[in-house]
Amino acid sequence: MGDPGLGARGASLTELVRTDYDMAFALGPYAEWYPNAMKVEGSPTAIRHAELYGDQPYAAFREPFEAAAQAFDADAWADLFVEAGAKYVVFVTKHHDGFCLWPTAIDNPNRPGWHSERDFVGELAEAVRKRGMRFGLYYSGGLDWTFHHTPIANFGDMFACVPPGEAYRQYALAQVRELIDRYKPSVLWNDIAWPDGRDLEELFAYYYAAVPEGVVNDRWSGNTALFEGLRTPMGLAGFNAMVKARLAESDEEPTSTPDHHYDFRTVEYSKGGDMGGAKWESTRGLGMAFGYNANEETGDYLTGEGLTELYRDVTDRGGNLLINVGPMADGTIPQVQQAPLRDLGRILRGG
Any idea where the domains of the chain sit in the sequence? 13-348
Query: Which residues of the chain fall short of a pLDDT of 70?
Result: 1-10, 252-255, 351
Superfamily covering domain 13-348: Glycosidases (3.20.20.80)
pLDDT of residue 3: 58
Query: Which pLDDT score is estimated for 13?
Result: 86
pLDDT at residue 6, rounded to an integer: 64
pTM: 0.95
The answer to whether 168 and 158 are in contact (CB under 8 A) is: no
Q: Which residues pair with 134 in a beta bridge?
A: 88
Spatial neighbors of 171 by CB under 8 A, at least 6 apart, are 106, 108, 109, 144, 147
Cα angle 123, 126, 132 (rounded to 5 degrees) comes to: 145
List, for residues 186-229, the tens digit of each pLDDT value.
999 999 999 999 999 999 999 999 999 999 999 999 999 999 99
Q: Which of 199, 191, 194, 197 is nearest to 138 (CA)?
A: 191
Report how far residue 29's alpha carbon sits from residue 25's, in angstroms, rounded to the nearest whole number. Answer: 8
Q: What pLDDT score was predicted for residue 143? A: 98
With a CB cutoff of 8 Å and minimum separation 6, the contacts of 90 are: 136, 137, 138, 187, 189, 322
